[in-house]
Structure 1
Amino acid sequence: MSIYIKKNKFLFILTILTSVISSLGYVFMAVLLQQLLDIAMDKNIQQFIRMVIFSIVYFIVLGFFLYLQSLLSKKVICKIILQIRSDVFRGTINHSIEDFEKKNTADYISVVTNDVKMLEDNFLLPLFEVVQYTVIFISSFVLMIYFDIIVTLCVIVAIAVMFLMPSLLGGTLEKRQNKFSSKLAEFTVSLKDILSGFEIIKSYSMSKTVIQRFDKANTETIKSKYSVDRLLALNEGLSAFLALMVQIVVLFLSAYFIIAGRITVGTLLGMVQVSSNLANPLIMIFTNIPKMKSVHPIVEKLEIISKHSIFLSQKESVATYQSHISAKDLSFSYDGTTDILSGIDCLIEKGKKYVIVGKSGCGKSTLIKLLSGYYSTYKGKILYDDTEFHMLDKDSVVQLSSIIHQNIYMFDETIYDNICLHEHYPEEQVEKVIADSGLTEFISELPTGLQYRVGENGSNLSGGQKQRIAVARALIRNKPILILDEGTSAIDMQTAYDIENRLLKMEDLTLITITHHLEQNLLDKYDEIFYMENGHIKERGSFKHLINTSSCFSEYFHLKK
Structure 2
Amino acid sequence: VLIHYNRLTVGQLLGIAQASNMVIMPIVNYANLRNMIQSSKPVLQKLLDNSMCYEENEPIIFDEQIHDIKIKHLSYSYGVRQILDLNNLVIDHGKKYLVIGKSGDGKSTFLDILTKQKKADGIYVNDKGLKDVQFSTYAEKFSYVNQNNDLLPFSFEQNITLGRKMSKYSLKDLVTIFNLESIFDKERDNLDFEHLNLSGGEKQRICLARAMYRNKKWLFLDEAFSAIDKANSDRIHQFILSNPDITVLSIEHKVTKETVSLYDKVLLFENKKIVSMDVEEYLNSSF
Is the pair's TM-score, using the shorter chain for normalization, greater than 0.5? yes
Q: Displacement of 1:350 after TM fit?
A: 0.6
Q: Displacement of 1:195 after TM fit?
A: 5.1
The answer as to whether partners of 2:167 and 2:214 remain within 8 angstroms in 1 is no
For 1:371 and 1:463, the matched residues in 2 are separated by: 26
* Residue in structure 2 matched with residue 325 of structure 1 by the alignment: 69
Q: Displacement of 1:193 after TM fit?
A: 10
* Aligned: 1:359 with 2:105: no
**Secondary structure at the counterpart of residue 326 of structure 1:** strand
* Aligned: 1:523 with 2:267: no
The answer as to whether partners of 2:167 and 2:215 remain within 8 angstroms in 1 is no
CA root-mean-square deviation: 3.0
The answer as to whether partners of 2:49 and 2:135 remain within 8 angstroms in 1 is no
CA deviations over 1:458-486 (Å, ceiling 9, x no partner): 21322111111101110011111112211
* Residue in structure 1 matched with residue 17 of structure 2 by the alignment: none
User: 1:510-549 to 2 correspondence within 5 Å?
Assistant: 510-537=247-274, 539-548=275-284
Alignment-mate amino acid for residue 308 of structure 1: S
Q: 1:414 aligns with which of 155, 163, 166?
A: 155
CA deviations over 1:431-475 (Å, ceiling 9, x no partner): 22222322134423x2xx2x4422358213221111111011100
* Aligned: 1:474 with 2:207: no
User: 1:371-382 to 2 correspondence within 5 Å?
Assistant: 371-376=114-119, 378-379=120-121, 381-382=122-123
* Residue in structure 2 matched with residue 191 of structure 1 by the alignment: 27
**Secondary structure at the counterpart of residue 280 of structure 2:** helix
The answer as to whether partners of 1:485 and 1:515 remain within 8 angstroms in 2 is yes
For 1:395 and 1:471, the matched residues in 2 are separated by: 21
Change (3 A) 1:490 1:362: same
**Secondary structure at the counterpart of residue 366 of structure 1:** helix
CA deviations over 1:146-182 (Å, ceiling 9, x no partner): xxxxxxxxxxxxxxxxxxxxxxxxxxxxxxxxxxxxx
Q: Displacement of 1:420 after TM fit?
A: 1.5
For 1:415 and 1:360, the matched residues in 2 are separated by: 33
The answer as to whether partners of 2:68 and 2:93 remain within 8 angstroms in 1 is yes
User: 1:123-272 to 2 correspondence within 5 Å?
Assistant: 191=27
Change (3 A) 1:315 1:466: closer
* Residue in structure 1 matched with residue 170 of structure 2 by the alignment: 429
* Residue in structure 1 matched with residue 140 of structure 2 by the alignment: 399
The answer as to whether partners of 1:480 and 1:508 remain within 8 angstroms in 2 is yes
CA deviations over 1:2-38 (Å, ceiling 9, x no partner): xxxxxxxxxxxxxxxxxxxxxxxxxxxxxxxxxxxxx
For 2:183 and 2:156, the matched residues in 1 are separated by: 11
For 2:124 and 2:71, the matched residues in 1 are separated by: 6
Alignment-mate amino acid for residue 534 of structure 1: N
Change (3 A) 1:516 1:311: closer
TM-score by length of 1: 0.41
* Residue in structure 2 matched with residue 498 of structure 1 by the alignment: 235
Alignment-mate amino acid for residue 191 of structure 1: I
For 1:478 and 1:544, the matched residues in 2 are separated by: 29
Q: 2:86 aligns with which of 321, 335, 343?
A: 343
**Secondary structure at the counterpart of residue 508 of structure 1:** coil
Q: Which protein, 1 or 2, shows the higher relative CO under an 8 Å CA cutoff with sep ≥ 6?
A: 2
Q: Displacement of 1:498 after TM fit?
A: 0.5
The answer as to whether partners of 2:169 and 2:213 remain within 8 angstroms in 1 is no
**Secondary structure at the counterpart of residue 459 of structure 1:** helix
Q: Displacement of 1:530 after TM fit?
A: 0.5
* Residue in structure 2 matched with residue 458 of structure 1 by the alignment: 195
Change (3 A) 1:457 1:318: farther
TM-score by length of 2: 0.76
Q: Displacement of 1:488 after TM fit?
A: 1.4
* Aligned: 1:316 with 2:52: no
The answer as to whether partners of 1:420 and 1:473 remain within 8 angstroms in 2 is yes
* Residue in structure 1 matched with residue 13 of structure 2 by the alignment: none
For 2:169 and 2:212, the matched residues in 1 are separated by: 13
**Secondary structure at the counterpart of residue 164 of structure 2:** coil
For 2:194 and 2:134, the matched residues in 1 are separated by: 30
The answer as to whether partners of 1:324 and 1:350 remain within 8 angstroms in 2 is yes
The answer as to whether partners of 1:353 and 1:527 remain within 8 angstroms in 2 is yes
The answer as to whether partners of 1:401 and 1:480 remain within 8 angstroms in 2 is yes
Percent of matched pairs sharing the same residue = 27
For 1:469 and 1:372, the matched residues in 2 are separated by: 21
The answer as to whether partners of 1:410 and 1:457 remain within 8 angstroms in 2 is no
Q: Kindly tell me the number of residue pairs found equivalent between the two proteins.
A: 248
For 1:365 and 1:355, the matched residues in 2 are separated by: 13
* Aligned: 1:484 with 2:221: yes
Alignment-mate amino acid for residue 397 of structure 1: Y
Decide which structure has greater helix share.
1
* Aligned: 1:384 with 2:125: yes
Change (3 A) 1:422 1:530: same
**Secondary structure at the counterpart of residue 511 of structure 1:** strand
**Secondary structure at the counterpart of residue 266 of structure 2:** strand
**Secondary structure at the counterpart of residue 340 of structure 1:** strand
The answer as to whether partners of 2:99 and 2:107 remain within 8 angstroms in 1 is yes
The answer as to whether partners of 1:349 and 1:510 remain within 8 angstroms in 2 is yes
For 1:374 and 1:457, the matched residues in 2 are separated by: 29
Q: Displacement of 1:546 after TM fit?
A: 2.2
Decide which structure has greater strand share.
2
State the structure with more CA Rg. 1
Q: Displacement of 1:400 after TM fit?
A: 2.0
Q: Displacement of 1:194 after TM fit?
A: 8.7
For 2:132 and 2:168, the matched residues in 1 are separated by: 38
Q: Displacement of 1:423 after TM fit?
A: 2.7
User: 1:35-46 to 2 correspondence within 5 Å?
Assistant: none
**Secondary structure at the counterpart of residue 402 of structure 1:** strand
